[in-house]
């Protein structure tokens, strides 16, 4: 295995290579659970850093775009360093009106990353709602992180059996997080996933709400190289927080309108050590 880069020198890995790195990392002592915790922690820091650097406040609407233009988001080391030892996710901050964050979680490990984000942002004083798009989590690590939300002031919405316009009837969130489907997604969005995607994109396009996608905007595939021939709903994110390295789809021109700005989060994988494994 060797480190692949695009024409701009940006490092990327395919989905198969990422799975191999995760497996080898687990064998070397970095558990899958710890990788999920690391991914969610980095994503939560980035979301909070965005809110700090742009001065996002509840119900600012289209003004969010102006704030972002004045202070474009880059995940800077100094922002993360500022939180070290400050109880970033241990001590809730007193705020007059907490920011509303709605996190859409699938039943796999991408949803598990979303549960970690929900826990950390709730502990940091955000008003968090988790939307279960595909029912209860189906993987052990995601299930563990979902259970950790039970003692926190996190609202849980289950889309199964939910009334058609239930999401529209509630308060609109200030920030939305897409943690529905990961890099292995194939096909097109259907059922609850489609309804969730339509709601997220409506908040983004008509109301100027900011959208973060974890690893990849739902509706795209990590190794996807061409635009799908059939019409399909894809999350339109302002920022995509991808884990460890970019994936092939992040490099494609057609995907730029969905990925927005791509931020790479370190989840603790030492690729240099694991590069001796042949694939």
| DSSP letter for each residue of 116-173 | HHHHHHHHTT-EEEEEESSSS--SHHHHHHHHTTTTSSEEEEE-TT--TTHHHHSPPP
Condensed to tens digits (0 to 9), the pLDDT of residues 26-40 reads: 999 999 999 999 999
Can you tell me the mean pLDDT for 104-114? 97
- Alpha carbon distance 97, 240 (integer Å): 26
Q: Would you state the pLDDT for residue 168?
A: 76
Strand, helix or coil for residue 220: strand
On whether residue 83 sits in a domain, the answer given is: no
Structure confidence at residue 188 as a pLDDT band (50, 70, 90): confident
Q: What is the CATH number of the domain that holds 96?
A: 3.40.50.10260
Residues 6+ apart with CB under 8 A from 233: 188, 189, 194, 197, 198, 201, 219
- Alpha carbon distance 126, 223 (integer Å): 34
On whether residue 85 sits in a domain, the answer given is: no
Q: Would you state the pLDDT for residue 92?
A: 41
CB-based contact 236:201 (threshold 8 Å): yes
Can you tell me the mean pLDDT for 199-212? 94
206 vs 69 pLDDT, higher one: 206
For tokens 């001065």, what's the residue? 55
The DSSP letter of residue 34 is: H
Q: Would you state the pLDDT for residue 189?
A: 87
With b meaning 16 or more CB within 10 Å and e meaning fewer, what string describes 37-61? bbbbbbbbbbbbbbbebbebebebe
Binding site residue list for K(+):
110, 178, 218
- What is the domain range of residue 46? 4-75+92-274
On whether residue 240 sits in a domain, the answer given is: yes
**172 pLDDT above the threshold of 60:** yes
Angle at 41 between CA 269 and CA 9, to 5 degrees: 45
CB-based contact 118:147 (threshold 8 Å): no
On whether residue 87 sits in a domain, the answer given is: no
CB-based contact 269:21 (threshold 8 Å): yes
Q: What is the CA radius of gyration of the chain?
A: 18
**76 pLDDT above the threshold of 80:** no
CB-based contact 246:262 (threshold 8 Å): yes
Domain count, the chain: 1
Condensed to tens digits (0 to 9), the pLDDT of residues 113-144 reads: 999 999 999 999 999 999 999 999 999 999 99
On whether residue 248 sits in a domain, the answer given is: yes
Binding site residue list:
109-113, 178, 182-188, 215, 218
Tell me the CA distances in angstroms from 104 to 71, 175, 231, 266, one per residue in order.
Answer: 27, 11, 22, 22
Q: Would you state the pLDDT for residue 67?
A: 34
Angle at 185 between CA 181 and CA 189, to 5 degrees: 75
Binding site residue list for (6S)-NADPHX:
109-113, 182-188, 215
Structure confidence at residue 71 as a pLDDT band (50, 70, 90): very low
On whether residue 27 sits in a domain, the answer given is: yes
Can you tell me the mean pLDDT for 48-57? 78
On whether residue 81 sits in a domain, the answer given is: no
pTM over 0.95: no
On whether residue 279 sits in a domain, the answer given is: no
- Alpha carbon distance 176, 236 (integer Å): 11
């Amino acid at each position: 295995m060797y480190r692949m880069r695009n024409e701009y020198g940006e490092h990327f890995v395919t989905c198969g290579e990422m799975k191999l790195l995760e497996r080898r990392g687990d064998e070397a002592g970095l558990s899958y659970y710890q990788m999920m915790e690391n991914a969610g922690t980095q994503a939560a820091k980035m979301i909070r850093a965005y809110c700090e650097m742009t001065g996002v406040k509840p119900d600012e609407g289209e003004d969010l775009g102006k704030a972002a233009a004045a202070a474009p988001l880059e995940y800077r080391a100094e922002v993360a360093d500022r939180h070290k030892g400050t109880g970033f996710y241990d001590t809730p901050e007193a705020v007059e009106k907490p920011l509303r964050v709605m996190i859409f979680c699938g039943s796999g490990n991408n949803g598990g990353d979303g549960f970690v984000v929900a826990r950390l942002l709730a502990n940091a004083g955000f008003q968090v709602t988790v939307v279960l798009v595909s029912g209860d989590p189906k993987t052990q690590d995601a299930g563990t992180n979902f259970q950790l939300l039970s003692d926190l002031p996190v609202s849980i919405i289950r889309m199964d059996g939910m009334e058609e316009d239930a999401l529209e009837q509630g308060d609109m969130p200030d920030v939305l997080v897409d943690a529905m489907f990961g890099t292995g997604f194939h096909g097109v969005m259907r059922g609850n996933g489609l309804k969730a995607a339509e709601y997220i994109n409506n908040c983004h396009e008509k109301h100027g709400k900011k959208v973060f996608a974890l690893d990849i905007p739902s509706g795209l595939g990590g190794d996807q190289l061409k635009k799908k021939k059939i019409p399909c709903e894809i999350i339109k994110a302002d920022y995509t927080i991808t884990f460890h390295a970019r994936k092939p789809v992040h490099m494609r021109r057609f995907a730029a309108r969905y990925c927005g700005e791509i931020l790479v989060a370190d989840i603790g994988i030492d690729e240099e050590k694991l590069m001796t494994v042949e694939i």
